[in-house]
A and B are shown apart, each in its own frame.
Chain A
Amino acid sequence: GAGVSQSPRYKVAKRGQDVALRCDPISGHVSLFWYQQALGQGPEFLTYFQNEAQLDKSGLPSDRFFAERPEGSVSTLKIQRTQQEDSAVYLCASSDPPGYGYTFGSGTRLTVV
């Protein structure tokens, strides 16, 4: 596609509910990144894929967060048993070659009530 596509744009979840956020990167982009942006703050790194390999997941805040990219293109960020502190905008970015510019999606705004 022409850009990075994320869905849904908005998600309201009840506390304890599981959610899945989707990222469709630019076609052919090798690297894919997930960021979490709390209200009024800059984005914080969550995890990074190169093709289907998850090379860095050091930013995932807890074991309730899980990300995958099974075929090296579309990625899903899953949050289990959501809590109020998970409320944030989740941004996805892709780049190719690695480090040569990062294109961001519009984000998914998650609100946990």
Chain B
Amino acid sequence: SQELEQSPQSLIVQEGKNLTINCTSSKTLYGLYWYKQKYGEGLIFLMMLQKGGEEKSHEKITAKLDEKKQQSSLHITASQPSHAGIYLCGADDNAGNMLTFGGGTRLMVKP
């Protein structure tokens, strides 16, 4: 079965600083999803990556999938308190049947 490892597990940054979260897979990634979760709430879809080398951006968040499709990174530029939460990467099983998630990265942004 596919396993996803996220690093770091938790992160505290000063407002305005840049940060990067990594997601490494034990197998080739066919579809890689990034979600954000506020405490006690559901998952909010951020981006989906499928092609090796693909990069997508939304506002100040950029996600990349490496050429070998086994690692993805999420980069936040000029972080704000509103970016605080848990970031989860999820991998598709290539049949659209289910997502396997990493353990999450807990981000706190200090004003």
Which residues in A have some Cβ–Cβ distance to B below 8 Å?
4, 6, 31, 33, 35, 40-45, 48, 55-56, 89, 91, 93, 95, 97-107, 109
Contacts and interface: CB of A to CB of B under 8 A. Distances in A.
Given A42-B88, A43-B88, A91-B42, A104 B35 contact: yes
Contacts, number: 66
A95 B43 contact: no
Contact of A42 (B48, B96, B103): B103
Determine the interface band of chain B, counting residues with CB < 8 A from chain A.
20 to 34
Contacts of A56: 97-98
10 interchain residue pairs of minimum CB distance: A99-B96, A42-B101, A98-B96, A104-B43, A106-B42, A104-B42, A42-B103, A45-B98, A42-B104, A43-B101
Chain B interface main SS type: strand
Interface of B: 4, 6, 31, 33, 35, 40-45, 48, 88, 90, 92, 95-104
Given A45-B98, A48-B97, A95-B96, A102 B33 contact: yes
